[in-house]
Chain A
């Protein structure tokens, strides 16, 4: 059974309908990517799943419905969402940001271990643990946002365009680290990303979104190898 099952997902900002009946699913322990151009509704998918925009349809996470639940309650079920624009707490320190990531956990000892673990994965964050998050570079802030989500020990990790606005080399580096971490821990991931190259290297399965509908679905390798698909949907 899939960890996340979405059927007929609709979402709108006022009268503007952004998602028009999406069906997709993410299997336990797999990494799914949603690709598509700007304005296709990628961010809205994640915001709908997190309860940040009103959504209609069926969203089942581990057999329980998420539709209509408040954002904080969805996070408490183990859904970590790294939002577009990172959403770090600029005037809090790096370490405080990470501790907030583990806010809903009550296993203090394990949280401390995870903190060490995260500093191991992202040494730059360790070097800057006492620094205000707002003083970090864009790439470091993105690392911090991802690391904060990992501190939840999420059952589902949702990433919104982690490569956006950071140097390509750092984006690549971030995805490489993330791939290793996810494989090591068998983490389930839902990634939305405009950079199809990065996303297809990272993900197992991919969906292509076009004007609020899933236009195409398949294994990442398959889509990567299909020249026609690449040309029509990804423009490279």
Chain B
């Protein structure tokens, strides 16, 4: 039983990282209708920045916080200087632009920091605590707590603040938003900034579990896409639930089903996604706009 709970919590922790990246994807998709293939590489680049600051002697916590702020600013800059020119254009054009950004950031990171593996320190102590008789790793619990905190903050931002309301409005109907005085471009910039910061957070959370190199986010991005597709690409709640379902199912299957093991465990969540999307093509929480003629 203890083993089961441990596997479950680890799965939720891994899933929380997928969920953070999936949330970033959903944020950008909802506001600009763009599937941002560069999301993972933006996060990898941010993680390198955090690592660079840490190596230069900046305390880890402060290095991470500075990186989140820098990533937010860089995300806004990317929207303003690059993406803005293509918004509202052909979907394929946008796909190519974000893929180009993917390759650019990947190459740039290699050029600056090299291609070897680096160890990235964890934000949490390498320790375990007793929770009602079960030993759980502090790191796993910490990751879950961080994600829940972020989701809570995002909820407050979008549901309880004026700027959050304006961001939702700009995503839904740019023309009407401008008519009430919302600067739509600024809202899209903010959306990209938030997504970049979220991705950076996922990067510094996942890096200690893997090694930091230019391909850090490769597999995470695929899982995040899967989580977003499972939850419904326009649903924040869906992104979180999708991330957890994937993290938990791959962990459980990898541990308990002998012939699956570590190599085949990705097949389990993909199987679940396949079935869910057959039944609900819009994803678990994907919405269609309410309309009455």
Classify chain B's interface size.
Answer: 20 to 34
Query: How many residue-residue contacts, CB under 8 A, span A and B?
Result: 78
Closest to A132 in B: B290
Binding site for B on A (CB under 8 A): 50, 52, 70-72, 75-76, 80-81, 83, 87-92, 96, 99-101, 103-104, 132, 134-137, 148, 152
In addition to A71-B175, A134-B290, 19 A-B residue pairs with Cβ atoms within 8 Å of each other are A50-B179, A72-B177, A80-B179, A83-B175, A83-B176, A83-B179, A87-B176, A88-B176, A89-B176, A91-B287, A91-B289, A92-B169, A96-B165, A100-B166, A103-B162, A103-B180, A132-B290, A134-B291, A137-B292
- Interface residues in B162-196 by Cβ distance below 8 A to A read 162, 165-166, 168-169, 172-173, 175-184
10 contacts between A and B (CB under 8 A): A75-B181, A90-B289, A91-B290, A96-B165, A96-B169, A101-B180, A103-B180, A103-B181, A104-B180, A137-B292
Contact with A along B38-61 (1 / 0, CB 8 A): 000000000000000000000000
Least distance between B174 CB and chain A CB atoms (Å): 10
- What's the Cα separation between A90 and B168 when bound, in Å? 12
Contacts of A148 in B (CB 8 A): 180
Closest to B176 in A: A87
Closest to A158 in B: B179
- What's the Cα separation between A153 and B269 when bound, in Å? 53
Taking a contact as CB atoms closer than 8 A, the residue among A70, A75, A101, A136 that contacts B292 in the complex is A136
- What's the Cα separation between A152 and B231 when bound, in Å? 37
- What's the Cα separation between A134 and B172 when bound, in Å? 12
| Residue among B173, B175, B180 with the highest chain A CB neighbour number at 10 A | B180
- What's the Cα separation between A72 and B185 when bound, in Å? 10
Contact A89:B292 (CB < 8 A) given known A70-B178, A152-B180: no
* Pair B172/A90 contact, Cβ less than 8 Å: yes
Closest to B290 in A: A134
